[in-house]
């Protein structure tokens, strides 16, 4: 499966470098600002985003917070050239990022991180699909339970007559549907 990943950085050289690093294995979408990234996310089903932290107008954390409503299952990696302890703590504590990486990065480490992040994406996606199936089954089970309850609430007719072949009547087809 070919995943679509987005790279967001205000430095064109970084965008080109990461695009070259990933374009053989993934569909790569690039944006040079948080605003552009948000516009692109409306049009692209992105599995993973790698965003620089320090960008003009919108920080990486601000961008990642805003992406949650658009692509909640998307895995997020934050990249920065500065040791910004406050940003790191905020990103981790809010559960926004899968991983926090520093510039300059090691290409092989970044490849491995992206590969593992996409495995994490598959796990999240599978969990969401299972939850949707469970919800559908819970709804159906409740419907069946309601039908059974309705059937039990109706009075049962008991006859004191002794059944003979002439009075023995086969059940109505509706009874088979309820039992069915």
pLDDT for res 157: 58
Question: Hey, what are 105's tokens?
Answer: 């990065």
For residues 23 and 144, the model is more confident at 23
Instruction: Assign 180 a pLDDT band (cuts: 50, 70, 90).
Output: very low
The tens digit of pLDDT for each residue in 7-61 reads 999 999 999 999 999 999 999 999 999 999 999 999 999 999 999 988 988 989 8
Handedness of CA 78, 55, 74, 138 (dihedral sign): positive
The tens digit of pLDDT for each residue in 87-123 reads 677 777 777 788 888 888 889 999 999 999 999 889 8
Cis bond upstream, residue 104 (ω within 30): yes
Sorted by sequence, the CB contacts under 8 Å of residue 5 that are 6+ apart come out as: 22, 26, 27, 28, 29, 46, 47, 48, 49, 50, 114
Rg (CA), the chain: 28
How far CA 160 is from CA of 22, 105, 157, 168, in Å, comes to 82, 88, 10, 13
Instruction: Assign 146 a pLDDT band (cuts: 50, 70, 90).
Output: confident
pLDDT for res 103: 83
161 pLDDT more than 60? no
Dihedral pair phi/psi, residue 8, rounded to 5°: -125, 120
pLDDT for res 175: 46
Give me the residues paired with residue 6 across strands: 29, 49
Model confidence pTM above 0.85: no
CA dist 56 and 81 (Å) reads 14
């Amino acid at each position: 499966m070919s995943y679509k990943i987005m790279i967001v950085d205000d430095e064109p050289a970084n965008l080109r470098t990461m695009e070259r690093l990933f374009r053989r294995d993934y569909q790569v979408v690039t944006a040079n600002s948080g605003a552009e990234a948000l516009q692109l996310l409306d049009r692209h089903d992105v599995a993973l985003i790698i965003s620089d932290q320090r960008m003009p107008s919108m920080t990486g954390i601000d961008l990642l917070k805003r992406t949650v409503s658009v692509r909640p299952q998307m895995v997020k990696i934050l990249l920065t050239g500065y040791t910004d302890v406050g940003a790191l703590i905020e990103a981790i504590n809010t559960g926004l990022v899968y991983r926090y990486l520093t510039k300059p990065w090691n290409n092989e480490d970044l490849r491995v991180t992206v590969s593992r992040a996409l495995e994490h994406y598959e796990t999240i996606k599978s969990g969401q699909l299972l939850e949707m199936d469970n919800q559908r089954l819970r709804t159906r089970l409740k419907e069946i339970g309601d039908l059974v309850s309705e059937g039990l609430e109706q009075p049962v007719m008991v006859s004191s007559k002794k059944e003979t072949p002439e009075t023995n009547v086969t059940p109505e087809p509706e009874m088979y549907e309820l039992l069915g």
